[in-house]
């Protein structure tokens, strides 16, 4: 499949890795929107949150466990935001499930 994040997960396209295990990869966003901005992806292709099912939802719990651990390791104690855009109107540009983790500045709410 011609998927950018599948290629990054397979190491075919380089990334600045933050964390990796057998199920997920964490790497810095190429166009950071905050002083800290990394992406968390499952290695197995899932298109978006809209494709989460009882069969594959375990990965989401694992992703959040790793985000919690990384927030401690990277000392994001002042706050951080986890965002996943789903579909065109929400601004999803890469159709492979990913969670943005943003930190290091004050973040507006609600988002634009």
Residue range at the interface with ligand AMP (CB under 6 A); choices 57-65, 70-78, 91-99, 102-110? 91-99
Among the listed residues 45, 62, 98, 100, the single catalytic one is 98
Q: Is residue 92 within the footprint of ligand AMP (CB under 6 A)? A: yes
Q: Which residue has the tokens 């492979």?
A: 96
Cβ atoms of 81 and 103 within 8 Å: the answer is yes
Site map (CB under 6 A) of ligand AMP, residues 49-88, x = contact: ------------------------------------x---
- Which one of 9, 15, 70, 103 is in contact with ligand AMP (CB under 6 A)? 15
List, in sequence order, every residue forming a beta bridge with 102; answer none if it has no partner.
37, 81
In this structure, what token pair is assigned to residue 102?
């943003």
Cα 6 to chain center, whole Å? 13
Q: Is residue 91 within the footprint of ligand AMP (CB under 6 A)? A: yes
Q: Which is nearer to ligand AMP, 13 or 68 (CB)?
A: 13
């Amino acid at each position: 499949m011609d998927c950018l994040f599948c290629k990054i997960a397979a190491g075919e396209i380089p990334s600045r890795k933050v964390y990796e295990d057998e199920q997920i990869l964490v790497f810095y966003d190429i166009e950071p929107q905050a002083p800290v901005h990394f992406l968390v992806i499952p290695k197995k292709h899932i298109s978006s949150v809209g494709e989460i099912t009882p069969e594959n939802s375990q990965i989401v719990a694992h992703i959040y466990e790793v985000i919690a651990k990384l927030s401690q390791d990277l000392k994001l104690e002042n706050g951080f935001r986890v965002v996943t855009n789903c579909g065109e109107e929400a601004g999803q540009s890469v159709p492979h499930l990913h969670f943005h983790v943003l930190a290091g500045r004050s973040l507006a709410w609600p988002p634009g």
